[in-house]
A and B are shown apart, each in its own frame.
Chain A
C-alpha cells in the first residue's frame, strides 16, 4: 500500500519561464523524470504544454454529443407529444405527426442543449468558478495572464522531495523557482 504522505506545509514548487519553448521543454523533462502531479500555466493556450503534462484528450466532444442528443430527442419528443398525444388538433388538415415541420425546432433545441452542455461541462470539469487557489500565492503569478509561463510540481506528488525537486527544476533554466504556499 502506498504510504499516505502527510499534508506538507506548502502546495508545491513553481518554476517561472519567459517563453513557451522553455516551458514546454521543462514540462516534458519533469514528466519524464516521473512527476505526475504537475500543471503548467500560460497566458494563451499552448497545445504542446497540455500534451506535456499528460493531457492527450478531453471529454468535451462526448459531453457536447450527449447534450446534442438530449436536445434532439427532447425537442422532437416535446413537439410530437404535445401535437399527437396531449392535445391533438387538426391544423389545416395536416397530419398530427407532421414531422418535417418539427425539424427546425428540433435542430434549434439540439444546438442549444449541445452548447449548454459543452459550456457548463467545461466549467464543471475545470472546477470553475474557483475564486481561491493556492497557485495565486506564487510571486509574479499575475504575469501568467500576461507574458509568463509557469510550471508547478505539487507537493502531493509521490516523487516530491523539496530540496531535490527544487534543484531539478532549477537545472531546467527557469527565471526563478519559488514555493507555493497554501
Chain B
C-alpha cells in the first residue's frame, strides 16, 4: 500500500497528507499574507529583471506587427497551399492554454473541488492574457485589421451585405469574443471583494482610491453576498458549456473543411482535451516558480501540483487516444487521400520529425507522471509541463502544416517554412503574456483572498452553538 498518497493515522483513518492549505492559518493571516504581496512587500529584484525581459520581448511583438502592417502578409511564411500557418497554430495554442483557467474556476467549482481555490484567480488571469495573445493572430492575419470589424461582425454597412453565418470562422468570432468577455467579467466579479480588502488595507492614498473605485463600494453585506454567491455559481454553470463550446468551435474551423487530416469527427473532444492538457501544463509552468518566489507554499501546496499533474496525465491520455483514432480512421475509411495524408504525416513526408517530436512530447514523456515520486518532484513536474507546452504547439503545427502542404494535386505541393517575422511574432506574444502576468502578480491579489477564508476550518458556523 502506498505511504505517500494514502497515509493512515493510528486508528486506521485516512488522513490527507497534503492539505489545500497548511494548518494554523487564520482569517487574518491569510488576508495579510496575500494582500502584503501587492501592498507592503517591496517589489523583489527578480520581478524587475523578469519584467524587463518580458517587456523587451513584448516590444519585439510590437515591432513585428508594425512591420507586418506596413509591408503586408507576405512577410510571413504562409503560401499556397499552406495558407494557414503560424497564425492559426499560435491562435489555437494560446486559446487552448486559456481553457485551463476556466476549467479550474468554473468546472472544478461546480464539482466542489476545494483545491481549486488557491489557483483559480491566477488561472483566470492566465486565461484572459492567453485569449488576448490568441486574438492578435487572426486579427493581423486579415492584413488590414482596421477593416476586420466589417469582415467579422454583422454590423450595417454601406454594402448591405452580411457575414456568412454558416461559416465556422464566423462561429469562431462569436465564440472567442463571448469567451473573452465572459472570462474578463467573471474574473472582475471574483476580484470585487478582494479589491475591498486591499482598499481597507492600503496605506497610501492613491492605492486606497484606486482599489476603492475598483471595489465599487463593496462592504460585505450579507444581502450582497447572497446575490453574489448565486451569481458566481450561475456564471460557473454558464462558463462550463461555454469553454467546451469554444474549443469545439475552434476545432470546427478544421473539421468542417473537407481536407484530409482535418475532416474528422473526433476533433471536438480531442481539441477540448488538448486544450485542458496544454492549459494545465501552463498552470504548472507558472505556479511552480511563483509559489517559491513569493513564498506561497502554504497556499499552493503539493496537493495542487499533484492534482494538476493528474489532470495532465488524464487529458494527455485522451489526446493520445485522439492521435490513435486519427490514424485508425484514416485506415478504416479506405480513402486513398486519408491514407496518404496519414502516411505522409507520420513517416513518409518531410515533416515526419514534427510528428515524432509531438508523440515524444505529448504521449511518451508525460507518462513518467504515473510514478508518484516524479509527480511529487517539482523540478520534474516543471520540466514535463514545459515539454507538454511544446508538444501541444507541435500538435497544431502537425495538424495544420502536414494536412495542407500536400494538396490533392501533386502540382500544387509545396513546403512551408516560417520566416523570422513568424517567430518574432510568436515569441513576442509570449513576451506580452508574461508582461501582463507580471503586472497582475504585482498589483492584484494572485490568490482569491475571500475564497481562501472560506476553506479555513474556522469559517464554518457551528450550528449547535448558533441555534
Contact = CB atoms under 8 A, between A and B. Distances in A.
A99 to B, nearest CB: 10
Contact of A46 (B161, B192, B225): B225
Contact of B196 (A24, A86, A119, A145): A145
Given A50-B222, A98-B166, A115-B238, A44 B450 contact: yes
B124 to A, nearest CB: 14
A182 to B, nearest CB: 15
B27 A45 contact: no
Contact of A24 (B31, B235, B239, B466): B466
Contacts of A49: 222, 225, 461
A140 to B, nearest CB: 10
Interface stretch (B178-186, B278-286, B383-391): B178-186
Contacts of A108: 171, 174-175, 178, 242, 245
Given A41-B219, A46-B461, A146-B27, A109 B178 contact: yes
Contact of A83 (B162, B224, B234, B454): B162
A98 B182 CA distance: 28
Interface string A69-95: 000000000110011001101011010
A125 B228 CA distance: 10
B178 to A, nearest CB: 4
Contacts of A109: 174, 178
B220 interface: yes
A147 interface: yes
A118 interface: yes
Contacts of A101: 165-166
B323 to A, nearest CB: 26
Contacts of B310: none
A34 interface: no
Interface in B195-246: 196-197, 199-201, 212-213, 216-231, 234-235, 238-239, 241-242, 245
B26 interface: yes
A66 interface: no
Contacts of B466: 21-22, 24-25, 28, 48
Contacts of B193: 44, 145
Contacts of B239: 115
Contact of B459 (A44, A91, A107, A119): A44
A136 to B, nearest CB: 7
A64 interface: yes
A61 interface: yes
Contact of B200 (A44, A47, A146): A146
Contact of A128 (B201, B217, B450, B460): B217
Contacts of A15: none
B465 interface: yes
Contacts of B86: none
A39 B454 contact: no
Interface string A116-153: 10110111011011111101100001111111000000
A24 B28 CA distance: 20
Contact of A58 (B197, B230, B465): B230
Contact of A147 (B28, B175, B230, B467): B28
A111 interface: yes
Contact of A119 (B28, B161, B185, B220): B185
Q: Which of B186, B228, B242, B461 has the most chain A CB within a 10 Å cutoff? A: B461
Contact of A39 (B218, B222, B458): B222
The bracket for how many chain B residues form the interface is: 35 or more
B235 to A, nearest CB: 6
Contacts of A115: 181-182, 185-186, 235, 238-239
Interface in A1-36: 19-22, 24-25, 27-28
A169 interface: no
A102 interface: yes
Nearest to A45: B225
A175 B59 CA distance: 55
B41 interface: no
A55 interface: yes
A123 B467 CA distance: 32
A43 B461 CA distance: 14
B253 to A, nearest CB: 11
B272 interface: no
Nearest to A55: B226
Contact of A43 (B182, B220, B238): B220
Contacts of B196: 145
Contacts of B170: 105
B415 to A, nearest CB: 31
Contact of B238 (A19, A25, A98, A111): A111
Interface of B: 26-28, 31-32, 154, 160-162, 164-166, 168, 170-171, 174-175, 178, 181-182, 185-186, 189, 192-193, 196-197, 199-201, 212-213, 216-231, 234-235, 238-239, 241-242, 245, 249, 252, 450-451, 453-454, 458-463, 465-467
10 contacts: A39-B222, A41-B220, A50-B223, A60-B230, A102-B165, A104-B174, A112-B181, A115-B186, A122-B228, A128-B192
Minimum-distance CB pairs A-B, first 3: A147-B27, A129-B216, A50-B226
